[in-house]
Amino acid sequence: MTEQPDPSDNSFDEIVEAETQRDPDLAVIEAGSRTLRTHSGPPQGAEVPARPTDPETDKALRAVEQELAGRWGETKLEPSVTRIAALMDVLGEPQRAYPSIHITGTNGKTSTARMIEALLNAFDLRTGRYTSPHVQSITERISLDGAPIEAERFVETYEDIKAYVDMVDAQQDIRLSFFEVLTGMAYAAFADAPVDVAVVEVGMGGTWDATNVIDASVAVVTPISLDHTDRLGNTPAEIAGEKAGVIKQGATVILAQQPVDAAQVMLKKAVEVDATVAREGMEFGIVTREIAVGGQFLTLRGLGGEYDGIFLPLYGAHQAHNAAVALSAVEAFFGIGAEQSGSLDIEAVRKAFASVASPGRLEVVRSSPTVVLDAAHNPAGARAAADGLTEAFSFSRLIGVVGTSGDKDVRGLLEAFEPIFAEVVITQNSSGRAMDADELAAIAVEVFGNERVQVEPRLDDALEAAITLAEEEDEYAGAGVLVTGSVITVGEARLLLGRG
């Protein structure tokens, strides 16, 4: 690669011009990263993978990404497990080589999965974690022992199963989708490792989700709200009916606080398959919660008793609820509360929770002014983020940067943030699913009023504008910026702000 220009001596457009031999979207993102990085300071906290430094590995990873991108995307699907089941069959059923914990719900799945993984690692178990979508790198989706799979191994896993994928494609009316192939890769990678337990987050729903070829001994249901209504249903009860498909015969169900109608559906399903249910607020929950520097201190009641002195380095009451769910899920996995009495080792539990990171979830990526990223993309997630931000930070003025997907309840999301945003900068990310900035701005004007809305279609310009607004007057020395609306928006902002 040619020597990169110094961002202090070149404009953004000049840097992009120097990157013409690279992927155009990535060039824009990385050029913006260099123009903004000088204001961001050194990266802190847990990182997500950057591009491979070895040119050959990077080339191989890009080739795999391109092949996967040629398949049906995650929003286009034919609801069945027929194809993934066929792939598992020709691969020798790798998903049955280890026990699993299966996680469904609307919000909080990835954070809960990360907490479960940390707890299992603390008890010396090898883990595989499969989550989606990714913040920056596709390799984030498949983790081994708490770390994203290395790019080389990701490529090798794809090459290992590619012939079998082609075989299934040839036998089916519809080719395996992007998500189905990734799911196959994850299950194969976990078997090859091998892992002691897999922590698996559904992609969408449950019954017909590609991940649902496992027979998990523990099914976790995070809070259910309205999202993907075109696929899952228009009420919490209808959505719960799809998500209940992860509850298998004789399993233990860890049920987060739910709307009443959703809880009724889950409980009915549990009875049908003779599953044991532990409910937040009944069998487990939060005993105490105190705000602390960098997170919160918790006392949790699990299935085996109370666990005090837990520091969780994440913000918001919703993360405390996720922690209670994760703890009980791991207890259930070990048989605590059913097969045996007692509790988990408190020091191991404290160490595990203190190590948890959840990139893009009320994540601080810059100071002076403070810039926070949150991947909220539906009204329930936005309300949780707004509450957590208000509780944990004392901003004198908060500027929002919002870029959403076009298939979401964007009005509901904007309405959730309206009370805490002084002004909002509307933008869009590079995804083909992104809502057009002008279209989103029209809705934002109806929610915020014309004088509080600014439009900057390019994300780097939107970040610069928001930071300028936060810095513009001395009386706003305590101002901050929240970037939100989509995991993709957050991931691209993370790169622009030097966290990639």
**Each residue of 63-74: pLDDT tens digit?**
999 999 999 887
pLDDT tier for residue 499 given thresholds of 50, 70 and 90: low
Quote the pLDDT of residue 37.
Answer: 36
**Per-residue confidence (pLDDT) for residue 46, from 0 to 100:** 42
CA–CA dist 79, 59 (Å, integer): 33
Compute the distance between CA of residue 442 and CA of residue 236 in angstroms, rounded to an integer: 29
Joined tokens for residue 487: 């995991």
pLDDT at 35: 37
Question: Span 116-129, mean pLDDT?
Answer: 98
pTM: 0.85
pLDDT above 50 for 342: yes
Give residue 405's pLDDT band: very low, low, confident or very high (50, 70, 90): confident
> Cβ of 468: how many Cβ atoms within 10 Å?
12
Share of the chain above pLDDT 90, in %: 71
Integer angstrom CA distances of residue 447 from 351, 410, 418, 487? 43, 11, 7, 22
Instruction: Residue 37: name the closest of 371, 360, 363, 478 by CA.
Output: 371
Confidence of residue 430 (pLDDT cuts 50, 70, 90): confident
pLDDT at 305 over 90: yes
Instruction: Name the least confident of 71-85, 104-118, 385-399, 444-458.
Output: 71-85
What pLDDT does residue 57 have?
Answer: 96
Residues 33-47 have a mean pLDDT of 38
- Residue 40 reports pLDDT greater than 60: no
pLDDT surpassing 70 at residue 38: no
In this structure, which amino acid lies at residue 133? P
Cα–Cα distance measured from residue 180 to residue 13, given in angstroms and rounded to the nearest whole number: 38
For residue 133, the model assigns a pLDDT of: 86
As given in the structure block, the two tokens for residue 362 are: 């009320």
Q: Are 269 and 279 in contact (CB under 8 A)?
A: no
Mean pLDDT of the chain: 87
Q: Which CB contacts under 8 angstroms, 24+ apart, belong to 342-348?
A: 342/304, 342/305, 343/302, 343/304, 343/305, 343/307, 344/119, 344/123, 344/302, 344/304, 344/307, 345/123, 346/307, 346/308, 346/309, 348/119, 348/122, 348/123
Distance from C-alpha of 128 to C-alpha of 146, rounded to nearest angstrom: 8
Kindly state the helix (H) or strand (E) to which residue 116 belongs, with its residue range.
helix 109-122
- Please count the residues of the chain: 500
Judged against a pLDDT cut of 60, whether residue 168 lies above it is answered with yes
Amino acid at 178: F
Tell me how crowded residue 449 is: count the other CB atoms within 10 A of its CB. Answer: 10
- pLDDT tens profile 243-263: 999 999 999 999 999 989 899
